[in-house]
Structure 1
Amino acid sequence: MKKLERGLIHIYTGDGKGKTTAAVGQGTRTSGGGYKVLMTQFLKGDDTGELYSIEKMAPNFEIKRYASIKNFYRNLDEAGRQRVQQEAQEGISLIKEALEEEQYNLIIMDEIMAVMYLEIIPVEVVINLLKNKPEHVEMILTGRNAPEELIQLADYVTEMKMIKHPFQQGIYARKGIES
């Protein structure tokens, strides 16, 4: 497997649309360059377009989902929360193993900020992953509410800021655009 010259850390955060889309775009570019990409998605349960696009880019671009939910985490009962916590931990374990075995050039942790914000996985666990990643592995973390500790650690930080959004007019997620 060829290696990147140097792997950096990206954060796509903020309340605006486009965090996952930006991560998928970078993954597409990286995969197209002949590098291996792993995208881990947390807390997403809907059938979304990126699943099918990424599937077509296999084996250079893989996607795995952990702690999938169709509703808000806070609305889950205790058993549901425990399931989500266990599955999120499985996702973190996969990422740790992928880093240790240097299986990928780019690892995307989609919605990891929500996982930390909801205290499903401690911020320190993610910081530890980033601090111990191989030098040539690029990392992208997405989601609202990026912790300041991660912002300080990252090389790129992009904030998507919502100025106007169709849901303010009662237009919900549309297939092929928002999902």
Structure 2
Amino acid sequence: MLKNGDSGEILAIQKYLPCIDIIEEYPLNRFLFALSEKEKAEEIEKQKKKFILFYDKVVRGDYDMVLLDEACAAYAYGSVPLDMLMELVHSKPEKTELILTGRDPAPELTALAHYISEIKKIRHPYDQGMGAREGVEK
């Protein structure tokens, strides 16, 4: 949810798994922490609109499996309100597997989860000033 079409995950899916739908409306052009307060407020509104598109497709039963990449981080940054995420969890069809990724998930979401995994950053090239690398992050 907090990525644009240049992220490595999206490029790999488009290349190797073209049968997977990627909803790219309102792509995020820069990380939220790099934006001014005005730009951040504008991006948050765009992300809320994107979430409504996701929500409608999910509750309609269009998919058997839905992965909302960085949804928990989107909540933590304030671009998706918790009540919207909770409503999605409660409103999705029973047949639909819902996967939410991202750091800092709300305790209310983790209480409903069947699976919880955590990937912990110990070291990352970005911390040493390296940008996104071709074939890895983009």
Structure 1 unmatched ranges of 5 or more: 1-41
- Are residues 53 and 67 of structure 1, via their aligned partners in 2, closer, same or farther at CA, if it must alter by over 3 Å? closer
Larger RCO, structures 1/2 (Cα 8 Å, 6+ apart): 1
Return the letter of the residue paired with 1:105: D
What corresponds to 2:28 in structure 1? 68
| Whole-Å separation in 2 of the counterparts to 1:83 and 1:140 | 26
Aligned residue pair count: 136
Identity of aligned residues (%): 30
What corresponds to 1:135 in structure 2? 94
1:110 to 66, 69, 88: 69
More strand by share: 1
Kept after mapping to 2: 8 A contact 1:109/1:140 = yes
2:125 equivalent to 1:166: yes
- Are residues 92 and 71 of structure 1, via their aligned partners in 2, closer, same or farther at CA, if it must alter by over 3 Å? closer
Return the letter of the residue paired with 1:70: R
What corresponds to 1:47 in structure 2? 6
Return the letter of the residue paired with 2:123: K
Deviation at 1:73, TM superposition (A): 4.1
Deviation at 1:142, TM superposition (A): 1.1
Kept after mapping to 2: 8 A contact 1:54/1:62 = no
| Whole-Å separation in 2 of the counterparts to 1:73 and 1:162 | 18
Residues 140-173 of structure 1, C-alpha deviation per residue, up to 9 Å, x if partnerless? 1111111111111111100001233334555443
| Whole-Å separation in 2 of the counterparts to 1:169 and 1:76 | 23
- Are residues 82 and 67 of structure 1, via their aligned partners in 2, closer, same or farther at CA, if it must alter by over 3 Å? farther
1:99 to 58, 68, 87: 58
What corresponds to 1:81 in structure 2? 40
Root-mean-square deviation over aligned CA pairs: 2.2
TM-score (structure 2 length as normaliser): 0.83
